[in-house]
Homo-oligomer: A and B are copies of this chain.
C-alpha cells in the first residue's frame, strides 16, 4: 500500500492521515477537499503530502472518505466508478443506512467498507486533527460481508495498528443505537446552549455564574452545523424517536416538580446514577 487519498482533510480525515503517516512513513498521502483553504492548511500542517484531484483516485490503494454524510451519499458512487479493482474505499460517517444504500447495487460494492470510528472532538477542520485520536476507541463496521476478503483484511490491519476495537453491526441497528448515545447528546447540548443564550440576551451577567458542569454539559454545542445537519436529516426517524422519549422524560420531571413529588425526582436521579458504572467503561 503506497498511495492513500483522503477526501475531506478535517478532524477525522486529518487525524487518520497523522496516524497512518506515523505508522508507515513511506506512504504518500494525497488530499482532496472542496474547501481550498482547508486543503492548503492540511499541506502546511503536513497532514498530506500532496493535493490531488478526483481523477487521481484511479491511482489509490486506499481512499478515506471523511466529509459530511450527505456529501458521502452523493459522492461515494462516483468514487467507486473511478477507483481501480484493487482499491479499498472506507467512509467514516456518523450514519450508515443511507450511505450503504447509496452503493448497495454498485458494481464495485465489494471495494467499499462502511465504518464509523467513535472518536472525535467538538472541533473541526485540519487544525483539529490530532495524533492517536483513535487509540482504544470503538470502530463500528457495517456489512463487512459485502466487502472483498482481501480488502477487509487490509482495512482491519490499519484499524488494529491505529489501536481501534472493532464492533460489527448492520447499518439499521447502528443508526438506531447511535441516535441515543450520540445524536441525542448533541441535540440536548445544542438546545441547552440555545436556552441559556436566549436568556442571556436580557441577563448579561449570567455566564459569570457558569462553572465546569455547564461547560461539560453544553460542550457538544460547539460542533459544526455543516456536519450535523445532514446527520440529523439522514437519521431523521431514529432521532425523532429519541427526542420524543427525551422530551417525555423532561415533561414528567417537570410534572413531578409542579406536583411537589420530590420522592419521584429523587428516585429518577438515583436510578440514573447507575450511569457511573456505564461511563467507567467509556474511554
Contact = CB atoms under 8 A, between A and B. Distances in A.
A194 interface: yes
Given A205-B177, A207-B281, A262-B229, A249 B194 contact: yes
Query: Could you say which interface size class chain A belongs to?
Result: 35 or more
Contacts of A197: 271-272, 274-275, 278
Contacts of A193: 272, 275
A211 B137 CA distance: 8
Contacts of A239: 257
Contacts of A282: 207, 210-212, 214-215
Given A232-B262, A269-B229, A209 B221 contact: no
A232 B167 contact: no
Nearest to A244: B254
Most chain B beta-carbon contacts within 10 A, residue among A138, A195, A245, A271: A195
Interface in A220-248: 220-226, 228-229, 232-233, 236, 239-240, 242-247
B240 A207 contact: no
A174 to B, nearest CB: 8
A180 B194 contact: no
A242 B250 CA distance: 11
Nearest to A247: B250
A189 B138 CA distance: 23
Interface SS of A by simple majority:
helix
A119 to B, nearest CB: 6
Interface in A163-195: 167, 169, 174, 176-178, 180-182, 184-195
A206 B222 contact: no
A217 interface: yes
B182 A221 contact: no
Contacts of A181: 196, 206-207, 209-211, 214
Interface in A84-133: 118-122
A206 B58 CA distance: 38
Nearest to A196: B180
Contacts of A207: 181, 278, 281-282
6 contacts: A138-B211, A212-B283, A221-B269, A229-B265, A229-B269, A243-B254
Q: Which 5 A-B pairs have the closest CB atoms?
A: A225-B269, A181-B210, A118-B211, A185-B217, A193-B275
